[in-house]
Amino acid sequence: MRYRTLPAAHYHNNRRKLAKHLVPGGAVIVQSNDILPTHADGTLPLYQNADLFYLTGIDQEETILILFPDSYEGKHREILFVRETNDHIKVWEGYKLTKEQAIERSGIKTVYWTHEFDRVWHGVMGEAQAVYLNTNEHSRAVVEVETREMRFAHLCKAKYPVHTYLRLAPLMHQIRISKDSHEVGAIKQACDITEAGFRRLLGFVKPGVMEYEVEAEMLHEYVRRGSRGFAYTPIVASGANACILHYTDNYRVCNDGDLLLLDCAAEYGNYYSDLTRCIPVNGKFSIRQREIYEAVLRIYRAAAQMLRVGNSLPDYEFVVGKMMEQELVGLGLLMADDLKRQDPAKPLYKRYYPHGTSHHIGLDVHDVGHRYTTFVPGMVFTVEPGIYIPEEGIGIRIENNFVITNGAPIDLMAGIPIEVDEIEALMAQQT
């Protein structure tokens, strides 16, 4: 395993937090994600179900967790199922967890092989008064492929039609929204790996390099430091491509005079970071590029300081929008008189800044968490304002990751160069 695992006590504590929210006689079941096919006999790597990983620390396919705190049998209050290995699997796939290793990793003392699940689950269903089934209820999720959990939900309801079924997702969103020190440490490790990749680029980027070459430089640095790779599909967007918010083709040549927008960050141990920087391809910002960059930087700094206990995303985004209006007026992109006449439901600044400023981050890049939940310590957010001017071929976004505390927010990417002068100085050192 290429990453340092978190202690079993962390996962035990997570299960304990969930158990406090269950109804009497309630049983929870969480399944691992599928290994998805590509074509012929090809498959994608496993990307573990974040909820299962949060509760068990198990990063392996065909894993199932049952939580049943009110079980009459003490050993069945927490049950883990893992895939049984054999000589064929050892030769073709290699390492799989033994029962003893699964116990050590998760802190769950009762472990069965996955093929024993039906028998054990039938006994649980004979006792359970309600069953919590898990589905992806992220507000931005588009789920067109049936997951392992959805297949199980259909089968379970068909076999046990008169049980009471409840939604697990809202409970998981509630307990996952605030990170403990172990989780913050894993996110910080992903941020540190990201920093190494970005610093590597500052000595590499110059006119004539391809966007995909820049992508390759970052990936090399991430993997050599223990990351699985990018936390999300990387955006390496030079010139006007930076005005395409989710540009991922990364095929264009980086030309002299262009800015290069880099929305690229590393994962570490299933935890994610999210960084955006803009750098001049030739190592020097033009007067206009600097002017726009520093406008975005002012909004970024002010927005970060609003990540305080008691605030909320809607209130926070409203204030950021007002700051953006004033910066756009200063850049000559909006007129003050037009702002007085604008439709509040369709603010004019959205023409140049169409996305939100912050989102939760953790075991998912766009991590779970209700938009209207007030900020509490342990929440981890991105801060990512931007200004995009297609007619000028300039798109600038600046993004770091912050932890909310009882005082000032902590910048997990504080060491990553962000000032114009620092970026230019570091790029000037390239050989």
- In this predicted structure, the answer to whether residue 404 has a pLDDT above a threshold of 70 is yes
Is residue 263 among the annotated active site residues? yes
Q: What is the mean pLDDT of residues 85-101?
A: 85
CB 68 within 8 A of CB 28: yes
Q: Looking at the structure, do residues 16 and 104 belong to the same domain, yes or no?
A: yes
CB 261 within 8 A of CB 237: yes
Amino acid 348: pLDDT: 97
Active-site residue identified among 149, 211, 215, 263: 263
Active-site residue identified among 41, 87, 118, 144: 41
Q: Is the pTM of this model over 0.85?
A: yes
Q: Looking at the structure, do residues 208 and 168 belong to the same domain, yes or no?
A: no
Measured between alpha carbons, how far is 318 from 269 in angstroms, rounded to an integer?
A: 35
* Residue owning tokens 């981050």: 361
Measured between alpha carbons, how far is 20 from 17 in angstroms, rounded to an integer?
A: 6
Query: Which of 176, 195, 222 is at the close of a domain?
Result: 176
Q: Looking at the structure, do residues 237 and 155 belong to the same domain, yes or no?
A: no
Q: Looking at the structure, do residues 90 and 151 belong to the same domain, yes or no?
A: yes
Does residue 236 form part of some domain?
yes
Higher pLDDT, 262 or 143: 262
Q: Looking at the structure, do residues 147 and 258 belong to the same domain, yes or no?
A: no
Instruction: Identify residue 71 by its one-letter amino acid code.
Output: S
Amino acid 430: pLDDT: 74
Number of domains comprising the chain: 2
* Residue owning tokens 């202690």: 7
Q: What is the CATH number for 35?
A: 3.40.350.10
Measured between alpha carbons, how far is 175 from 362 in angstroms, rounded to an integer?
A: 12
Amino acid 142: pLDDT: 87
Is residue 249 among the annotated active site residues? no
Query: Which of 148, 176, 204 is at the close of a domain?
Result: 176
Is residue 173 among the annotated active site residues? no
Q: Looking at the structure, do residues 150 and 37 belong to the same domain, yes or no?
A: yes
Q: What is the CATH number for 336?
A: 3.90.230.10
Measured between alpha carbons, how far is 9 from 2 in angstroms, rounded to an integer?
A: 21
Does residue 3 form part of some domain?
no
Q: Looking at the structure, do residues 128 and 264 belong to the same domain, yes or no?
A: no
Q: What is the mean pLDDT of residues 49-58?
A: 98
Q: Which residues contact 53 (CB under 8 A, 6 or more apart)?
A: 59, 270, 363
Does residue 1 form part of some domain?
no
Q: If 0-12 CB within 10 Å is exposed, 13-18 middle and 19+ buried, where does residue 345 land?
A: exposed
Does residue 2 form part of some domain?
no
Active-site residue identified among 115, 122, 355, 371: 355
Is residue 51 among the annotated active site residues? no
Residue 374: how many CB atoms within 10 A of its CB?
Answer: 12
Q: Looking at the structure, do residues 420 and 347 belong to the same domain, yes or no?
A: yes
Q: Looking at the structure, do residues 170 and 205 belong to the same domain, yes or no?
A: no
Residue 244 sits at φ, ψ, to 5 deg, of -95, 110
Query: Which of 176, 206, 237 is at the close of a domain?
Result: 176
Is residue 343 among the annotated active site residues? no
Q: How many helices (H) and strands (E) does the chain have?
A: 13, 16
Active-site residue identified among 274, 325, 327, 364: 274
- In this predicted structure, the answer to whether residue 306 has a pLDDT above a threshold of 60 is yes
- Pick from 198, 269, 264: nearest CA to 228: 269
Q: Looking at the structure, do residues 27 and 115 belong to the same domain, yes or no?
A: yes
Does residue 355 form part of some domain?
yes
Active-site residue identified among 77, 105, 176, 359: 359
∠3-271-315 over CA atoms, to 5°?
Answer: 160
Is residue 370 among the annotated active site residues? no
- Pick from 151, 128, 34: nearest CA to 79: 128
As a whole number, the mean pLDDT across the chain is 96
Q: Looking at the structure, do residues 333 and 418 belong to the same domain, yes or no?
A: yes
Q: What is the mean pLDDT of residues 36-53?
A: 94
Measured between alpha carbons, how far is 251 from 266 in angstroms, rounded to an integer?
A: 21
Is residue 70 among the annotated active site residues? no
Active-site residue identified among 366, 370, 411, 424: 366
Is residue 366 among the annotated active site residues? yes
Q: Looking at the structure, do residues 255 and 303 belong to the same domain, yes or no?
A: yes
Task: Supply the range of the domain harboring residue 141.
Answer: 8-176
Active-site residue identified among 16, 224, 246, 288: 246
Is residue 41 among the annotated active site residues? yes
